[in-house]
Structure 1
Amino acid sequence: MKFTTQNPDKSLHLVSLGCTKNLVDSEVMLGKLKDYTLTDDTSNADVIIVNTCGFIDSAKEESINTILNLHDERKEESVLVMAGCLSERYKEDLQKELPEIDVFTGVGDYDRIDELVNAKRSNFTNDVFLANDTNDRVITGSNYHAYVKLSEGCNQACSFCAIPSFKGKLHSRTLESLEKEVKSLISQGFTDFSFVSQDSSSFLRDLGEKDGLEQLVSCVEKIEGIKTARILYLYPSTTTLSLIDKIADSNVFVNYFDMPLQHITPSMLKIMKRGKGVEKLIELMDHMKSKPNSFVRTTFIAGHPGETQEDFEALAKYIEEYKFDRANVFSYSDEEGTTASKSDAKVEQEIIDERADILGEIIAQTTQESLEKEIGQTFEVYVDGESDEHEYLLSARKTIWAPDIDGEIYINDNELVDEKGEQKQLEFGKIYTVKVTELIGDKLLATVIK
């Protein structure tokens, strides 16, 4: 049954937690509930949805706290919905322990959320929902950038990760489906795209194609109207030198290389089941770095079971020497059902935290060095809008950077003199060439040139 609101004045408050892949699913739900008016007033919203994250302990805690706080604030007759990964992963326990929730749903019913809300009914479909070109998504947060999900699920068996247990095996979308969605988004005015999935470099491998991402690059390049694109979440064992070359040779895809490494020593990569020899891994990373204007991002785990002091010191040395443009470090935490959680070689929590702090300090320094290299440079940016810092400062993002995670550039003027000598207001969502004048803290300051 198709649900449409009888009262167009009904309001919806949606919170999307976790990764950008969750955000795409949240945007699908917004599309199915587009007859509702979006509101920030949680005390008067008719429907409240929390799309939860179940990846690590801190994310689980945030999901539970968010939904309980919203329950405390909501009006009596509202509908409170818990959706997403955490809900899927612990569906039996949560339904017993959280009577406050009106509707539980997992990762398979995003495109049926209107029916579930209307019927005030919980449901967990066995199949994981796979985004497609027919979903009427409501893109949030930008008038020019959109995330596009390549696939769902993951075939990897990393020792520390529980995602395959509730997201299932890899299910790739077809190139035709992706092409249709991108063209639809372009027709709505979107020009910058980030392609995402749990394991993007395995795209189409479940359909018998080993060069799926290279095919994607070729396909997307032929679509008119795209200004820039990037791929997030490459996996070491399914990333090739030819893929890196394909991205670097593209006139649409920027030289953005995002590969979570997690570690760098042979023993730890074997324990973590990361499936790539150190020599090959370093070859890949060096190849990325060799590309013109490349930007390399990664993540690491500190204190995984079996990590010796020697392993840790080797990792710290590699991070210091490679000088990643951006990186994140996570403290290891046990995840139910994973091989790491059953290990007898656990590292003490105090040592885990100490190692994470040390790596965090190194990463902060290399990030700062990456930003300092930008001083005096001229490059293109997207102007997003007014900054939160000051009404006279505009917020911008280097075109190669991914939204929200790689930084913000302040522009201290909102007008530009064109070729005719006329003053013109800068348009949000458009590309401008800027010159960086200084770095204050972790923010670059720049002036528009053209």
Structure 2
Amino acid sequence: MNSKKLHLVSLGCTKNLVDSEVMLGRLKEYEITDDNTQADVIIVNTCGFIDAAKEESINTVLSLHDERKENSILVMSGCLSERYKEELQTDMPEIDIFTGVGDYEKIDELIASKQSTFSPEVYLATETSGRVITGSNYHAYIKIAEGCNQACSFCAIPSFKGKLHSRSLSSIVKEVENLVAQGFYDFSFISQDSSSYGRDMGLKDGLVELIKGVEAIEGVQSARILYLYPSTTTFELVDAISDSEVFQTYYDMPIQHIDDGMLKTMKRGFGEKKTIELLEYMKSKPGAFLRTSVIAGHPGESEESFNRLCDFMETFEFDRFNTFHYSNEETTAAYTMDQVDEETIDQRAQILGEIAEKSTLKSLEKMVGQTVTVAIDGESDEHEYLLSARPLIWAVDIDGEILINDTSDLPVEYGKRYEARVTELVGTQLLATLIKAL
């Protein structure tokens, strides 16, 4: 008998991807297929963060429903189904099984019994979850916590993910050890608010403990921490990251704004002065890479506070930054505030987007002539003769790629590390020559 086929779509963030990989681990007896029309089971792991993501989630589910074969099972899991469980179950009869953010490890049982379920606890993968890593033969995301104790005015996540719930350090270390044994050597540690890791377990500087724990694992060549929060990021943590032999000097700290009044309105816990002190300290570290994100058009953003943000983003020169259009979300503090009109939000986001492009270009220009450690991901989409590589200081998927146009006749293995010299910047694309395998 042919094995049953599974088609899985993971939307939204990398934290969702980890949960999707747990589901794949539970459904190993299914053959994975890219052809949704042939699948016996279709799972969409949804995102419920902002309007655009909600819309994408619903459209994806409906178009997969339209094309699916008879007697297949359509499952909607994740943040959107958790956040709107009552409404969706009423409004979307197309869906066979609804499940939220608490039952990824039970997905095989839910499908077998064709039942919807919403556990009151948020699920957090452990080392025993048996997840199947997708998309890479050397890099994996490690989720270190779920939920968030912050109360940012624009964010609905705590309303459906609950308070901070950290994983034990021993569980994280075990998972990394298991993955190293399978050949993975590069890790990104993620959660909603990584710099608060361990606070619910009484650890004062949990991430510093985590850094030490991961450094002690033989075989980990490279790691980075994503999503630091200004008011829970300490100078000790900035030092620990920069002093580490294993962790990249990579600081990903979404600031959302820089104007004092706006930071108060956004309930960010830190004002302009302290935020800038922290950023300057990160920037002072040798070889530091800084990424952030900002919001355009949050309620209360005057022309003056917007200009203040633009000036800062232009002069500070982040290596990368993302701009989010403010999205008005029910259950958030900003929902009932006086809104900025859509047209203004779009204009502001565009202006910030242009600053971000210039900022990235300056960061890329600085790399020309440098020698960097890269992992080779495969053939480039640009040309079959070029290889796509990622400097290990960059985060997967979000920071871009470097193209290798000269391999110096070295044997090339995908997923392996090489030393490379960055030779030139063509448009927005860096080119490099391989020097040696590592």
Normalised-by-shorter TM-score class: over 0.9
Secondary structure of 2:367's counterpart equals: coil
**Shift of residue 416, structure 1, vs aligned partner:** 4.3
C-alpha RMSD over aligned residues? 0.9
1:126 partnered with 2:120: yes
Normalising by structure 2, we get a TM-score of: 0.98
The residue that corresponds to 1:9 in the other structure is 3
The residue that corresponds to 2:235 in the other structure is 241
Instruction: Select 2:348's aligned residue among 355, 358, 375.
Output: 355
Secondary structure of 1:264's counterpart equals: coil
1:386 partnered with 2:372: no
The residue that corresponds to 1:22 in the other structure is 16
d(CA) in 2 for partners of 1:389, 1:243: 39
The residue identity in structure 2 corresponding to 1:242 is E
**Shift of residue 274, structure 1, vs aligned partner:** 0.3
Q: Is the 8 A contact 1:8 1:35 kept in 2?
A: no
Could you give the per-residue CA deviations for residues 34-75 of structure 1, whole angstroms, max 9, x where no partner exists?
Answer: 111100011111111000000011100110111111111110
Q: Is the 8 A contact 1:8 1:37 kept in 2?
A: no
Normalising by structure 1, we get a TM-score of: 0.96
The residue identity in structure 1 corresponding to 2:428 is D
**Shift of residue 102, structure 1, vs aligned partner:** 0.6
d(CA) in 2 for partners of 1:175, 1:76: 45
Identity of aligned residues (%): 66
1:337 partnered with 2:331: yes
The residue identity in structure 1 corresponding to 2:202 is G
The residue that corresponds to 1:431 in the other structure is 417
Unaligned 5+ runs, structure 1: 1-6, 418-423
The residue that corresponds to 2:63 in the other structure is 69
The residue identity in structure 2 corresponding to 1:386 is E
The residue identity in structure 2 corresponding to 1:16 is S
Instruction: Select 1:374's aligned residue among 364, 367, 373.
Output: 367
The residue identity in structure 2 corresponding to 1:282 is I
The residue identity in structure 2 corresponding to 1:330 is F
**Shift of residue 441, structure 1, vs aligned partner:** 2.7
Q: Is the 8 A contact 1:46 1:77 kept in 2?
A: yes
Instruction: Select 2:430's aligned residue among 444, 447, 450.
Output: 444
Could you give the per-residue CA deviations for residues 131-185 of structure 1, whole angstroms, max 9, x where no partner exists?
Answer: 1111100000000000000000000000000000000000000111101110000
The residue identity in structure 2 corresponding to 1:426 is V
In the TM superposition, what are the counterparts of 1:205-216 in structure 2 within 5 Å?
A: 205-216=199-210
**Shift of residue 8, structure 1, vs aligned partner:** 5.8
1:311 partnered with 2:305: yes
Secondary structure of 1:112's counterpart equals: helix
The residue identity in structure 2 corresponding to 1:178 is I
Structure 1 runs of 4+ aligned residues shifted over 4 Å read: none
**Shift of residue 387, structure 1, vs aligned partner:** 1.2
The residue identity in structure 2 corresponding to 1:87 is S
1:255 partnered with 2:249: yes
The residue that corresponds to 1:278 in the other structure is 272
Secondary structure of 2:55's counterpart equals: helix
The residue identity in structure 2 corresponding to 1:438 is E
d(CA) in 2 for partners of 1:215, 1:328: 29
Q: How many residues align?
A: 436
The residue identity in structure 1 corresponding to 2:349 is A
The residue identity in structure 2 corresponding to 1:403 is V
